[in-house]
A and B are shown apart, each in its own frame.
Chain A
Amino acid sequence: MTGWPAFRRRFLRNPAGVFGLVVIILMILTALGAGLLFPASPLSITGDPFIWPGQSPAHPLGTDILGRDILAGIVHGARVSLIVGLAATAIAVILGMTLGVCAGYFGGLTDVVIMRLVELFQTMPSLIFTIVVMVSLTPSIPAIVLAIGMTSWPQIARLVRAETLRLRNSEFLLTLKVLGLSDLRIIIRHLFPNVTSIVVVTASIIAAQAILLEAAISFLGLGNPNMISWGSMIGSGKEALRSAWYMAAIPGMAIFVAVLGLSLFGNGLNDALNPQGTHK
């Protein structure tokens, strides 16, 4: 059984993977609808401070130290997490696929140089590197996306390189060469499609890691101060941990569900793509 219908059937049979997909769809809808649901800025004060969840119908999840609505913060915070997760993953995928295919296909010096770069970014602890980037540039969403993307691409590059090495001496590729296709055409038309499936699985894991990394950076107070994010909400909730722990607890659960959804989705994809692996 191959092809899209078979893949879809296998994926839908896995409840955990479907749960992951539902979480991702809900998150996208929340991020898109944030402006409609809560038109006011989530940083504006809309009520008394320290309202516990369930205490006031106007603030279902309560308010924070300053009286900002927590539900509005969660809904708007989904935007930051989603943007950072998607954009950082996009950078990692583009860089990782291009460099990984080049390293595997051309070999030689190209391979040596690219693998040195892979080693470099796998040696530097990604959170510390991201912190340094945020301190030397001005804290902003593009800076955080760039920093996370730069530390994540080696995971993809290594996989793609290994897969390309496997394909390089296959008859399929040798035929294309004999036919006189240019390197660029072989890479784009024939190699990229063949490595896509392994990249997709890793990409969902990278998106999950990116959301966690962004949360940690914002928690440390290095995010964009004009945008609310789940990490920064936990950071400000930390100040009231003794009297109002819900302020830190709620955004943390949002991060947990988002990351859980992405990793279950990734596992589901992996199982559906490699059906023999699941019945071992």
Chain B
Amino acid sequence: MSGSGGRLNGAINTGIFVLRRLVHVLPTMFLILTVNFFLLQMAPGDAVDVLTGEAGGASPEIVEMLRKEFGLDQSTGMQFLRYVQNVATFNLGYSVGYNGHVAPIILERIPASLLLMFTAIVVALIVGVTFGVISAVWRGRWIDNVINVISIWGFALPLFWLALMLIVAFSLTLRWFPASGMYNVYQGHTGWAFVTDVAYHMVLPVISLSVYYLAIFSRITRSSMIEIFGQDYMRFAKAKGLHPARITLRHGLRNALLPIVTITGLQLGAMLGGSVVIETIFAWPGMGRLAFDAIFRRDLNLLLGILFVSSFLVIIANILTDMIYSALDPRITLK
């Protein structure tokens, strides 16, 4: 078959895979909505009392609008149906605290969060995998012990505390990096100057967010590399007289990456949670910071929206993970 035909087939297969996965997650999304609705019902008072009262009172028009939106005059079952119907049309309700619809408020904050998390994952991957490979190659030597200690410590450090200590050291004392914000508002940078300014603001939050994942990645790389070193094909590569570095990287690392891809997908939820505290500390204008503001204003509807959107992001990430997995290992086809 011609190359373009194969590519087309591949694209169709991928498309079918994504569609099938999205259909498969529909029940999960439905369950998340059920949990959300249940939590809304658990809160003291009716939903509108919760949404308006705790947000510091709202005008009678808004109260009226909300009561209509939630259909509070109807039965619980009808309210639930209405809720599901609203969410299905991307209507996540109204935020009294922000005086606007929840969905656009959240969507506006997603890029900043994704930028932070993506950079943190990339940094954690590069450093963690390097650590893991070094550890596995020089197993039992001093460097392995040092890396093991780093990864065990990284696992136990509360990341919000690490963030504060980094601020004390590198921001307040040494004055190397800014402690808050995403860019310098007063200087109004554009183009490359803006990009470097954002990068400069990202240093401390990215380090704080990546340490935990760096620890996980380094540990997993180490153990899977050690397992792979004992495999027949590695002995074969050695017998062929290939250069040790080439064997380690081409034959070893490529296979060791598979479990890492799986873990990255599984850990994304934890990272979204971690970004709430990190964004709060560094005043990073993302979804996590929004969640903190919503806590402060007791804006339950906005929080439920954030829970829903972040769960959806985890699902998307897992689908992407599977696609990367099959790209790395040709034996696995997308099903």
Contacts and interface: CB of A to CB of B under 8 A. Distances in A.
A132 B27 CA distance: 21
A116 B28 contact: yes
Contacts of A216: 158, 160, 273, 277
Contact of A116 (B31, B165, B276): B31
Best-surrounded residue of B155, B161, B167 (most CB of chain A within 10 A) = B161
A280 interface: yes
Interface stretch (A27-35, A39-47, A69-77, A242-250): A242-250
Interface stretch (B10-18, B197-205, B310-318): B310-318
B298 A127 contact: no
A51 interface: no
Interface residues of B, number: 52
B164 A241 contact: yes
B305 to A, nearest CB: 10
B164 A252 contact: yes
A260 interface: yes
A52 to B, nearest CB: 14
A264 B164 contact: no
A124 interface: yes
A120 B32 contact: yes
B40 interface: yes
Contact of B311 (A116, A124, A234): A124
A149 to B, nearest CB: 15
A125 B270 contact: yes
A125 B314 contact: yes
B155 A123 contact: no
A110 to B, nearest CB: 16
Main secondary structure of the interface of A (DSSP, over half): helix
B42 A137 contact: yes
A167 to B, nearest CB: 25
Interface string A16-60: 000000000000000000000000000000000000000000000
Interface stretch (A84-92, A101-109, A219-227): A219-227
Q: Which of A120, A122, A208 has the most CB of B within 10 A?
A: A120
Contact of A126 (B153, B266, B273): B273
Nearest to A150: B35
A20 B274 CA distance: 25
B295 A124 contact: no
B39 A125 contact: no
A264 B36 CA distance: 36
Interface in A120-161: 120, 122-129, 131-133, 135-138
Given A128-B273, A255-B161, 11 more contacts: A116-B31, A124-B269, A124-B311, A125-B272, A137-B43, A216-B158, A234-B164, A245-B172, A259-B158, A260-B152, A264-B152
17 contacts: A116-B28, A117-B31, A124-B269, A125-B272, A125-B311, A127-B270, A127-B276, A128-B273, A133-B39, A135-B295, A136-B50, A137-B43, A215-B160, A220-B292, A221-B295, A256-B156, A256-B161
